[in-house]
């Protein structure tokens, strides 16, 4: 199974091995072995260069590890740390129970320091989403939300595949793997909301968060 | 929890999180792992305001076998986050003890009191003070509890004041004061606010994040500018904080935030338990 940048080679009991897709060809001994699913929190925290990863679905998962997990519960726990909420969101999607929230609704709900995001213009949304959410260097999620209740596209700068749950946002080939779990984005994340605030305030960075 | 089956009960720890500081979410994640190991809940998850999973991911956090979810805000005080942001994002009734039914799954979501309301906070603050300055005579020592103060964190100042009053009433320290980052009495004025040779400062914060690890040391004069985060400095082989510092002719001791204490896991479980009554 493929989920984001991770390959899961499942065993009969639902456990199995997790590793970075780029490390597929590495010999087991070249990778650091983990058997505790709780280690996933630490593995997901920093990228290869040691920089903090606030966005877990950013395409910068660190390399060089493999995780061998005893059972399905352990595998689920690990995946929920690498990609929080994404397994559940995909299950809801498959069951027809995933209801995306338009961006304008997300912004309209904000209070306090984020209330100002309601002032963001259409042009600013187009540029911000186009750069911040792009799969190449931004975020590997498939966007399911619309810009507003009228159904406007989130950004004209993103290719149509960015909104297609059958498309692998990593751009890697996956012929040899039977199943694929897309990382769905049913509602704009708080990082995007914080960036929207920075855009409205005319700052390049959102400062202290 | 007392009255329901543990395997169908879940715990959701809600933290603030940060997009720039990896240490903000750490206490919530560490306590979640510790509580998971005790197997008193069928599932234990965290959700954050500024990190993933976001609170809006609430429908995706628990399996369908879960019947009751206990939501414990890992916050020091009641206020804007516990009363406005968390109930709004989790689509819950925000009154402490309120139960929100989820028609889709039949789950009941219980809103519990924040950890900071728990009676053991006073003891945890005192313990931190003793740990950081184990050999100083308390009669010659002022203890300063630092809260955020002002703005959206409205009740954090009240909470810090209450703790200072409780510890002061015990009569151990020469003086016990609550101070704030952004409103008087300012922690930056610590030397003026105290007259003892020893001053112990304990931040009333959950994590060694931006405020307690990076901002307050600058306000105290320990650091001249904002440093890297605690975990980054640790990775570079630096110690947490060197104590004491000799500043303004005093011995200044600065403790780490209380939310990282292992005992906090018990507090979270107890807040969840209280929510089930
Ligand atoms: S809004 Fe969605 S697609 Fe964009 S960065 Fe956030 S999680 Fe990724």
CATH fold for the domain made of B6-116+262-274 = Rossmann fold (3.40.50)
Distance CA A109, CA A170 (A): 31
- Cis omega (within 30 of 0) on the bond before B53? yes
Beta strands in chain B (DSSP E): 9-15, 43-48, 68-73, 99-102, 107-111, 141-147, 175-180, 198-203, 245-247, 250-254
Where are the domains positioned within chain A? 2-84, 98-201
- pLDDT above 70 covers a percentage of chain A that reads 94
Count CB neighbours of B84 within 10 A. 14
What's the pLDDT score for residue B4? Answer: 57
B198 Cβ neighbours under 8 A, 6+ residues apart: B133, B136, B137, B140, B141, B142, B244, B250, B251, B253
Three-class SS state of B81: helix
Listed range (A49-53, A141-145, B10-14) with the worst mean pLDDT = A49-53
Count CB neighbours of A82 within 10 A. 22
Q: Which residues of A touch B (CB under 8 A)?
A: 38, 41, 45-46, 50, 52, 54-57, 77, 80, 84-89, 91-92, 97, 101, 109, 111-113, 187, 189-191, 194, 206, 208-209
Residue A207: which pLDDT band, with cuts at 50, 70 and 90?
Answer: very low
Residue B130 is encoded by which pair of tokens? 């003793």
Residue A175: which pLDDT band, with cuts at 50, 70 and 90?
Answer: low
Distance CA A146, CA A157 (A): 14
Residue by residue, pLDDT tens for chain B (277 residues) are: 445 577 899 999 999 888 888 878 888 999 999 999 999 999 999 999 999 999 999 999 999 899 999 999 999 888 888 999 999 999 999 998 999 999 989 999 999 999 988 999 999 999 999 999 998 999 999 999 988 876 655 677 788 889 999 999 999 999 999 998 888 888 888 989 999 999 999 998 877 766 766 777 877 777 776 666 766 666 665 555 678 888 899 999 998 888 888 888 999 999 998 655 4
Chain-centroid distance of CA B240 in Å reads 18
Residue B40 is encoded by which pair of tokens? 């008193």
C-alpha B243 to ligand 1 mean position (Å): 42
Range among A2-16, A32-46, B196-210, B261-275 with highest mean pLDDT value: A32-46
Residue B272 is encoded by which pair of tokens? 């969840």
What's the pLDDT score for residue B234? Answer: 63
- The reply to whether residue A56 touches residue B59, judged by beta carbons under 8 angstroms, is no
Three-class SS state of B198: strand
Does any ligand 1 atom lie closer than 6 A to the CB of residue A135? no
What's the pLDDT score for residue B24? Answer: 82
Helices (H) and strands (E) in chain B, counts: 8, 10
A123 Cβ neighbours under 8 A, 6+ residues apart: none
Does any ligand 1 atom lie closer than 6 A to the CB of residue A141? yes
Closest by Cα among B207, B195, B163 to B51: B207
**B29 has a chain A CB within 8 A of its CB:** yes
Distance CA B105, CA B258 (A): 36
Q: Does domain A2-84 have CATH number 3.30.1360.190?
A: yes
Strand-strand pairing, A180-181 and B141-147: unpaired
The residue count for chain B: 277
Enumerate residues 148 to 187 of chain B having a beta carbon within 8 A of any beta carbon in chain A.
Answer: 152
Residue A206: which pLDDT band, with cuts at 50, 70 and 90?
Answer: very low
Residue B174 is encoded by which pair of tokens? 């020469």
Distance CA A61, CA A51 (A): 11
CATH fold for the domain made of A98-201 = Alpha-Beta Plaits (3.30.70)
Listed range (A140-149, A167-176, B72-81) with the worst mean pLDDT = A167-176
Closest by Cα among A190, A173, A63 to B24: A190
Helices (H) and strands (E) in chain A, counts: 6, 8
CB–CB of B255/B187 below 8 Å?
no
User: How does pLDDT run across A64-104, given as a tens digit for each residue?
Assistant: 999 999 999 999 999 999 999 999 999 999 999 999 999 99
CATH 3.40.50.1400 domain range(s) in chain B = 6-116+262-274, 118-260
Q: Check: pTM over 0.95? Answer yes or no.
A: no
Strand partners, B254: B201
Angle between helix B264-274 and helix B26-38 axes, rounded to 10 deg: 70
ipTM, 2 dp? 0.90
What's the pLDDT score for residue B194? Answer: 94
Helix (H) or strand (E) segment spanning residue B130: helix B121-132
- CATH class in words for B118-260: alpha beta
Residue owning the nearest CA to atom 5 of ligand 1: A133
- pLDDT above 90 covers a percentage of chain A that reads 84
What's the pLDDT score for residue B235? Answer: 63
Q: How far is A150 from chain B (nearest CA, A)?
A: 22
Three-class SS state of A184: strand
Three-class SS state of A45: coil
Of B21, B29, B53, the CB nearest to A41: B29
- The reply to whether residue B152 touches residue A113, judged by beta carbons under 8 angstroms, is yes
The residue count for chain A: 209
Listed range (A22-26, A192-196, A201-205, B171-175) with the worst mean pLDDT = A201-205
Three-class SS state of B107: strand
Q: Tokens 């519960």, residue?
A: A73
Distance CA B1, CA B149 (A): 34
């Amino acid at each position: 199974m493929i989920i984001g940048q991770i390959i899961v080679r499942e065993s009969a009991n639902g456990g199995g091995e997790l590793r970075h897709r780029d490390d597929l060809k590495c010999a087991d001994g070249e990778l650091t072995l983990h058997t505790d699913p709780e280690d996933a929190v630490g593995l997901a925290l920093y990228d290869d260069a040691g920089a903090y990863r606030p966005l877990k679905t950013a395409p910068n998962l660190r390399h060089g590890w493999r995780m061998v997990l005893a059972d399905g519960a352990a595998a689920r726990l690990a995946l929920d740390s690498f990609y929080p909420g994404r397994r559940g969101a995909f299950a809801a999607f498959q069951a027809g129970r995933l209801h995306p929230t338009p961006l304008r609704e997300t912004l309209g709900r904000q209070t306090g320091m984020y209330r100002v995001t309601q002032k963001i213009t259409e042009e600013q949304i187009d540029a911000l989403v186009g750069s911040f959410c792009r799969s190449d260097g931004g975020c590997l999620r498939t966007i399911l939300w619309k810009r507003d209740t009228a159904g406007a596209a989130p950004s004209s700068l993103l290719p149509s595949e960015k909104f297609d749950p059958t498309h692998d946002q990593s751009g890697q080939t996956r012929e040899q793997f039977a199943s694929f779990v897309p990382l769905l984005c049913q509602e704009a994340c708080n990082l995007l909301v914080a960036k929207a605030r920075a855009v409205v305030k005319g700052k390049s960075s959102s400062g202290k968060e | 929890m007392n009255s329901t089956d543990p395997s169908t009960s879940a715990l959701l720890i809600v933290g603030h999180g940060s997009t720039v500081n990896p240490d903000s979410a750490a206490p919530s994640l560490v306590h979640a792992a510790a509580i998971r190991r005790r197997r008193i809940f069928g599932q234990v998850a965290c959700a954050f305001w500024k990190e993933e999973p976001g609170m809006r991911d609430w429908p995706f956090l628990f399996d369908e076998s879960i019947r009751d979810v206990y939501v414990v805000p890992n916050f020091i005080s009641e206020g804007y986050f516990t009363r406005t942001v968390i109930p709004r994002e989790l689509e819950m009734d925000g009154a402490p003890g309120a139960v929100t039914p989820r028609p889709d799954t039949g789950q009941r979501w219980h809103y519990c009191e924040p950890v900071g309301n728990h009676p053991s906070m006073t003891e945890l603050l005192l313990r931190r003070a003793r740990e950081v300055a184990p050999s100083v005579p308390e009669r010659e020592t002022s203890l300063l509890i630092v809260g955020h103060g002002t703005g959206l964190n409205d009740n954090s100042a009240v909470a810090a004041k209450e703790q200072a009053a409780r510890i002061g009433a015990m009569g151990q320290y020469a003086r016990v004061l609550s101070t704030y980052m952004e409103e008087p009495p300012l922690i930056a004025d610590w030397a003026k606010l105290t007259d003892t040779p020893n001053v112990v400062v304990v931040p009333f914060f959950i994590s060694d994040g931006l405020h307690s690890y990076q901002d307050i040391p600058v306000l105290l004069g320990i650091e001249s500018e904002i440093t890297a985060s605690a975990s980054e400095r640790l990775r570079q082989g630096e110690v947490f904080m060197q104590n004491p510092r000799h500043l303004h002719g005093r011995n200044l001791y600065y403790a780490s935030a209380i939310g990282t204490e292992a005992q906090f896991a018990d507090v979270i479980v107890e807040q969840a338990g209280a929510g089930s009554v």
